[in-house]
Structure 1
């Protein structure tokens, strides 16, 4: 592959990811706005809807805000905005809202478990891609992924408990469900770290 062709392919990839990240944010904020206007149709009524309406925009915008305030000026390589990381850090909030809107968490038995595994993988991959040095070894990448993923999973489960589970019928099965969610989220984070390491060390042609 010639240098010009490789540059064109890279530019096309960046453009596609940028548009996907922006589209994900537009859809996310559209769903949040509709939840404010029609709360009964949002799928998050009775599931800490107020907390979600606050936390989800923060989660989706934390990387752009960090980049504007700090990353853009401190980037040693004068890199462009990390759109792939931004997309990966936006998708968990968007997919969770879509799952709630279509009531998949309550009607599909395996949906909640799958989401804890997959979405924590997306979030961890995005965070590592944005903030972790590229030269980390496989072992260090795994430890960082586990550290972030497990900590974030604990924070999420504690937040869920105080936001709505402690006063809902789900309290009866909360202990078992929480243990499963923590395990799946941590495994998803570990897998994401290992995949990201492999992608980074694989030569591009």
Structure 2
């Protein structure tokens, strides 16, 4: 907070501190990417070939991706939590869908070797980190962080493989490669979870204050104001 000179009139507007600015940017980015994702999925429903999704379950993606990206806001609203919204985990969750859409739109899955593997790895990291930030207190043990990250990453990887099977792999003729690809993707999910454990544990151990700021950044409103005083008695 800036120190006012004697006799100086109080300022109605104040320059946001760096953490406040970061939280505002995170919230704005999250909302923007959600809007872009919904618009892209509407376009996919109208013209599946627009995103090179012919034969890749375009309708299923157009339904599941927005639900996945909007799941946390819907849950937060239905539970009527008094604590501020966790923007950073929600941004990470939204990115998992948008990366897949961009990869298909730019035909990166076919043009870049192992791009699919990289997406599986990074999405597992994103989901695991988001879940840890949402559910694990900053002062929790490394075991608690590992349990949360592994549970989230492996569950998300398994859910994606089941989605692929139900949506379009059940109709494929490439059964000679499907099994190996599925096992490889699950392993990348495990690896991504372990990376998330290392990243989150390192941040928390290196600087407890930085970890607390990261958690506050994940739960600030888009206008940058600190509503932490409205936190519910139980953090859940």
- Does the pair score TM above 0.5? yes
SS, match of residue 72 in structure 1: coil
How many angstroms does 1:112 deviate by?
Answer: 0.4
Partner residue, 1:94: 98
2:36 counterpart (21, 27, 31): 27
Contact 2:92 2:127 in 1 (8 A): yes
* Structure 2: tracts of 5 or more residues without a match: 3-13, 211-236
Contact 1:88 1:122 in 2 (8 A): yes
How many angstroms does 1:66 deviate by?
Answer: 1.2
The answer to which structure has the higher helix fraction is: 1
* RMSD of aligned Cα (Å): 2.1
Question: Structure 1 length normalisation: TM-score?
Answer: 0.88
Render the CA deviation track for 1:113-170: whole Å, top value 9, x for unaligned: 0000011111221122123333321122112211221122112112211211121244
* Structure 1: tracts of 5 or more residues without a match: none
Contact 2:45 2:58 in 1 (8 A): no
Matched, 1:200 2:204: yes
* Corresponding residue pairs, total: 198
Question: Structure 2 length normalisation: TM-score?
Answer: 0.77
How many angstroms does 1:62 deviate by?
Answer: 0.8
Partner residue, 2:183: 179
Partner residue, 2:68: 59
CA separation of 1:62 and 1:200: change in aligned 2, threshold 3 A:
farther
Partner Cα distance (1:136, 1:159) in 2: 33
Contact 1:141 1:194 in 2 (8 A): no
Q: Which has the larger radius of gyration?
A: 2
Partner Cα distance (1:125, 1:71) in 2: 24
CA separation of 1:85 and 1:9: change in aligned 2, threshold 3 A:
same
